[in-house]
Structure 1
């Protein structure tokens, strides 16, 4: 670790954290104010290198580096009055630090390894000992203890695997159907408000409670618990897809469908088919995604007894998901057919609603027309569709932010870089986590940065630095 810090080799620092502290990429990202995608890129061999002082400071602060580690990294100590010294002090001379990476206060704390090869431009140094017992204690004190609670994506993985640290034995209050109902509704609401960090924090334990409830209850109560489990796993899969965790998202989507079938509720089955379609599409299986959406839409349309608002909403939303998959496959005819069928369902529904948490209605069909035009490479058509949408009619933050991101993508493709930048800034104002936390949006920003004129590049770089996204 000392060697990695000396050479500002953050890739090795992160690998050591994973190897010896058990820290996941998501945990490192949260601690350091980075995205999981940026941590992943940094950890790849030959990947992105950290070079800016501001990022080094953020990493040091986030990992609670002791002062001797901060100074080895070339940063000022937090406690300026007590520079570390030890009886075994090793010394780095200015000759060994021509770049001036090590502050003067630290010169004298490490001595030169006798095996240094003079003239080697990399200045290879092998440190045979840590700089004293105080450093050893400080490093060990910062490591998580055995049995530390899992967080972020790792908590989802544990919950989906039935990890004993997540699966608890809650009391009757925690397993009450009313409480579970409220908790699932809160998770759905927070997701639609783009409050992803809130969902990530609470949902794994809710999944565990629902698993216990489904195994505990009988009769109609169990059917209701299974329906809630299907909805909660749907949210989990949606969050994991936002984070580019396709593997875990597929597991969560499958669990959603299993629970939906156990609930014996056709609308719940149709809703879970939506997330199955989404997971298949994100994994590149566009043909299978189209088939899944079409088949389940036909099934629930055939088997349902009454075309209730809930049914129409799930049915229409499922058709839209299939249309998006067709757009990704460049299947214009299928995309157009499914969009028209969804539009007919929206007209039958009679307005924009959020039945079964679908956000379905005529306006949502318009939003999907923008996205699909973009997937088909028709940036001009996407912008024309976007112009027809009244933003004030979109009540859900997540849907509104998605439209703005799609519009920014279309404007970038159309060469309207200043407008694309303005739109993405507006999206950040209404849904900060949609911009700062999603790798897919970071790719949109990267594309804008790559093609924009110099004046827009400068603005974009300042903006992304402000929100903690490093392109």
Structure 2
């Protein structure tokens, strides 16, 4: 997402039993070079296959430029590998301590694999009790408490499947199951588990199809686009959002449907920016702003967290995606996030603004923004691949790193 200088550095992920050694090549540029050689592809050939600049590819591999999301996706497609092979996600998962954010993932993986097995030994629970627990997932998502969600989800999903089997004709129960799976997608996405995201995503869409709420169906397509965004399938993601908008046309015109429609346009703006279509991205931003209604921020309709503040946040994110740091920091100068802004949104804002300041050439402000993101949304910040790329660029920009940068890198699981 950047064209800033990023000279060689020896920062690398670390953690108990992670198998890495000091100096191992773990940055994206080094991973590209390593996998390119394994596939027997020259730099020139890869640049042609991926339709990226040969000069840029050489600089990324040498660590002189940070790799943008679009660049990584293009290279992954050209090498027929997963994006996660280059981003080294999920992070901090090997031999995770019981207190770590990743500790609950194995149990959730098992629950996802078991799915709707009718023989699961699960006692029935009152549907309203399950509805209240799903509402807690919504609040955990707003506060970026994804590890807590992952801990709660295995038992909740099993009981929801039990309820769905006992009430097969109750559309609201299937919609509740779809909602729980949607929050499963988000939690796993934030913790870097794309493989499990795909499975949860398919379950969410299947459950929504058995419901009667077109807005819930629209939200599952909105989340599907998020998975496609992570996977580098930007055009497919835009098509998914078109389907999301189509579903909304059959619903009533309420503040909730306006919020979902606005959220769809905001995600479309990011996807359009990833395809480098600046005009389309700005068009979607304008469409989203037209959907703003009073009270949307506080209501958090369908977990979209849409409102005027979210539009402002995306207004900064889009130029960052387009590697235009000057426009990003200029727009940010007029943004004042209200105190009630969801940490999941404000955390993203400061992560994006950090990259904006890096693109603009102010490394001090870039690190300050990362520190702010950490205070607001620690789980989001710790596992966000863009944060790691930004830290790499900051560490490589100077011969000597500051204590604050070193401490931040260590907190992220990186070392010099």
In structure 2, the residue matched to 1:228 is 176
How far apart, in 1, do the equivalents of 2:242 and 2:337 lie?
A: 29
Computing the radius of gyration from Cα coordinates, the structure with the larger value is 1
The Cα shift of 1:43 comes to: 8.9
Aligned to 2:122: 170
Does 2:410 align with 1:465? Answer: yes
Match of 1:193 in 2: 143
* SS of match in other structure, 1:263: coil
1:291 aligns with 2:242: no
Contact between 1:401 and 1:431, CA under 8 Å: does it hold in 2?
yes
In structure 2, relative to structure 1, the CA distance for the partners of 1:243 and 1:350 (3 Å cut) is closer
1:208 aligns with 2:158: yes
Q: Does 1:257 align with 2:205?
A: yes
Cα shift at 1:393: 5.0
Question: TM-score, structure 1 length as denominator?
Answer: 0.64
1:82-231 equivalences in 2 (<5 Å): 151-162=103-114, 168-172=120-124, 175-219=125-169, 222-231=170-179
Equivalent residue in structure 1 for 2:225, among 265, 274, 277 = 277
* Alignment counterpart, residue 436 of structure 1, candidates 382, 386, 391: 382
Aligned pair partner of 1:382 in 318, 325, 328: 328
* C-alpha contact (below 8 Å) 2:221/2:243 kept by paired residues: no
Q: Give the Cα–Cα distance (whole angstroms) in 2 for the partners of residues 240 and 466 of structure 1.
A: 20
Aligned equivalents of 2:181, 2:344: Cα separation in 1: 18
More displaced, 286-295 or 244-253?
A: 244-253
In the alignment, structure 1 residue 42 sits paired with structure 2 residue 17: no
Q: Map of 1:282-321 to 2, 5 A cutoff? A: 282-301=230-249, 303-304=250-251, 306-321=252-267
Q: Does the C-alpha gap of structure 1 residues 470 and 265 become closer, same or farther in structure 2, counting only changes over 3 Å? A: farther
In the alignment, is the contact (CA less than 8 A) between 2:215 and 2:248 conserved in 1?
yes
- CA-CA distance at 1:465 after TM superposition: 2.7
Shift of 1:297: 0.7
CA distance in 1, matches of 2:411, 2:185: 29
Question: What do you get for the CA RMSD once the two structures are aligned?
Answer: 3.0
SS in 2 for 1:292: helix
Aligned position for 2:364: 418
Deviations 1:325-375 (A, max 9, x none): 1111111222122111111111x4565341121111111111112111111
Task: Answer whether contact 1:421 1:456 (CA < 8 A) is retained.
Answer: no
**C-alpha displacement at 1:447, in angstroms?**
2.5
Flag the 1:351–1:234 CA change in 2: closer, same or farther, 3 A.
Answer: closer
Offset at residue 376 of structure 1 (A): 0.9
Corresponding residue SS for 2:290: helix
Q: Which residue of 2 aligns with 1:57?
A: none
Cα deviation 1:112-168 (Å, max 9, x = unaligned): xxxxxxxxxxxxxxxxxxxxxxxxxxxxxxx9xxxxxx9533223222211799984
Q: Whose relative contact order is higher, 1 or 2, with alpha carbons under 8 Å and at least 6 apart?
A: 2
Residues 227, 259 of structure 1: 8 Å contact kept: yes
> Quick one: structure 1 residues 340 and 467, their matched pair in 2 at CA, closer, same or farther if it must change by over 3 Å?
closer
- Asked if the contact 2:134–2:176 (Cα under 8 Å) also holds between the matched residues in 1, the reply is yes
Contact 2:266 2:285 in 1 (8 A): yes
- Contact persistence 2:309–2:341 (CA under 8 A): no
Note the alpha carbon deviations across 1:82-132, whole angstroms, 9 max, x for none.
xxxxxxxxxxxxxxxxxxxxxxxxxxxxxxxxxxxxxxxxxxxxxxxxxxx
Which shows bigger deviation, 230-239 or 433-442?
433-442
Change (3 A) 1:440 1:42: farther
> How does 1:63-78 map onto structure 2 within 5 Å?
none
Find the partner of 1:247 among 195, 198, 205: 195
Counterparts in 2 of 1:457 and 1:166: CA distance versus 1, 3 Å: farther
Question: Following the alignment from structure 2 to structure 1, what is the Cα–Cα distance between the partners of residues 355 and 147?
Answer: 25
